[in-house]
Amino acid sequence: MDVSDGEENGDEAELRPVRWLLQAFEWLYTQALEGIPGAEQGIEHLAQSYRAQYSVDDDAIKALISWQVAKAGVAGFMTNVGGVLTLPVAIPANVVSVLYVQIRMVAAIAYMRGYDLRQDQVRTFVFACLAGSAAFDILKMPASRLGRS
């Protein structure tokens, strides 16, 4: 099938935001795994620090979830302190900080369960966890039905 230049450029323009979003998620995933130099260490260190405190991984995971949820709440509160005047900066900052915290939490749980965080499948499921149950509904959909949607 031959596609004219006008249609191809239109498709490229439509896909540009999607590609940018995917690149942003990949960058955020990498930062969450490796940590922020001088501020936070990588996922392995986070997971091991919780494992060192608890004798059972399930208890370590529960504590990790509690602390990460609290961190996300504090981050949301702090980015909204400025009120309406800071909303143009606060909303994107809040979204990025919460995504960062949640990616670290899900990835740390996956690491504690023995998954290789560098595998594409694991990365996909980390992102699916962020999307919630709607993503799992799509993942359960038969391939033939997915192609028609």
| Distance, CA of 84 to CA of 86 (rounded, Å) | 6
Residue 34 lies in a domain: yes
Q: Quick check: is 143 in a domain?
A: no
Residue at 108 is within a domain: yes
Query: Is 83 among the domain residues?
Result: yes
Work out the pLDDT band at 1, boundaries 50, 70, 90. Answer: very low
Number of domains in the chain: 1
* Whether the predicted pLDDT of 147 surpasses 60: no
In a domain, 57, yes or no: yes
Domain contains 135: no
pTM for the predicted model, two decimal places: 0.72
> Residue 143 has what pLDDT?
52
Predicted confidence at residue 3, as pLDDT, reads 47
Confidence (pLDDT) at 5? 47
Q: Give a yes or no: residue 122 inside a domain.
A: no
Mean pLDDT value across residues 109-126: 92
Q: What is the pLDDT of residues 17-54, one digit of tens each?
A: 878 888 888 998 999 899 888 878 889 999 999 999 99
**How confident is the prediction for the chain on average, in pLDDT?**
79
Residue 116 has pLDDT above 90, yes or no: yes
Examine residue 49 and state whether it is found in any structural domain, yes or no.
yes
**Residue 101 belongs to what domain range?**
5-113
pLDDT beyond 60 at 102: yes
